[in-house]
Amino acid sequence: MTEGIWNGVKCTSNLKKKFLARAACVCLLFSVSAGTLGGCGNKEIPFAYNPNYEVSSYRVVNEVSSVVASSFAENLCVVNSDVGTDNQAVDMTEATSAGLFDLNSNKVMYAKNIHERLQPASLTKIMTALVALKYGNPDDLITVTDEAAITESGAVLCGLKTGDQLTLNQALHALLIHSANDAAAAIAVHIGGSLDGFAELMNQEALAIGATNSHFVNPHGLTEDNHYVTAYDLYLIFNEALKNDLINEIIHMTSYETVFMDKDGKSKTFSFTTTNQYLKGTYKAPEQVTVIGGKTGTTSAAGNCLILLSKDTSGNPYISVILHSSDRAVLYTEMTELLNVIN
């Protein structure tokens, strides 16, 4: 990772973007597309950054006080290569990519191919929920349109039909617990005006939180060209999503039931259980670890994927993620080994 240091950029307006300053009298504008830093005037200063970099963290130094500005990644785990474990082997041979992140110490405890771009399947829905709650309100009333129809064979659905009405809160429960693809599409059209419009918001917000190695084409993760993430970017996205109380609440739920209305005002019922096999009790986490919740994902292109929030016996939080494992049983065996690194 290249570290950029710039001296003598002076002005009086506020700093913009997320790596903003402690340094007095420094004003910088971060431009991803142009690869430049601009002061308060029109002059731009080129610097070594582009959106394809695996990790971004820069600092700014004021030439008078030499106070170092807060870097973008000051409170994040940063990793640029594989990371093993000192005390035990982790068998991750069937997974293409994996990572374990200590959220309190900002330490990367394990990393395999963490910056490889891969199809994320329904782990996409974490980004969908994050964007939906940034631009919408849980009490928003969604009216399902034709554009929200999912016709792909085998896709998980909650049975939404054109004209059905439900709240964003209800749709988010269907999205994150049942992994309903039609709920994802209905949310996207409601928030973004169209599937494409919502995908633009997803990409905009991904860049804003530093997930520069991801690109979203749809809100559900069904296979499409140019739809990809990395395990590291999923850590960034999930870490940001966990700041929302409603998302934390939903991912911890084992089941959900609610009533909504069809186009004629007649009641329809949702009732489903979590896809998370740890929460179901099908698989057990190591004794020193409590799985709080997360998101599953499976397609032929993405393989079997899983991201989790867990805590150790002291209540310290961790994010773990595995992408493109060979099958579900192997996925959970590998995830249990990864969680066992937590002491």
Binding annotation for substrate? 295
Q: Which of 97, 112, 125, 310 is catalytic?
A: 125
CA 128/CA 207 separation, integer angstroms: 14
Catalytic, out of 179, 214, 310, 325: 179
Q: Does the active-site annotation cover 57?
A: no
> Phi and psi dihedrals of 237, rounded to 5?
-65, -45
Q: Quick one: which of 79, 72, 73 has its CA closest to 18?
A: 72
Distance from C-alpha of 306 to C-alpha of 183, rounded to nearest angstrom: 20
Active site residue 33: no
Please state, in angstroms and rounded to a whole number, the distance separating the CA atoms of residues 280 and 172: 19
What is each CA distance from 8 to 2, 13, 31, 65, 147, in whole angstroms?
20, 15, 19, 10, 52
- To the query of whether residue 122 is one of the catalytic residues in this protein, the response is yes
Single out the residue of 283, 297, 282, 299 nearest to residue 337, CA to CA. Answer: 283
Active-site residue (options: 122, 310, 320, 325) = 122
Binding residues: 295
Amino acid at 161: K
* Catalytically annotated residues: 122, 125, 179
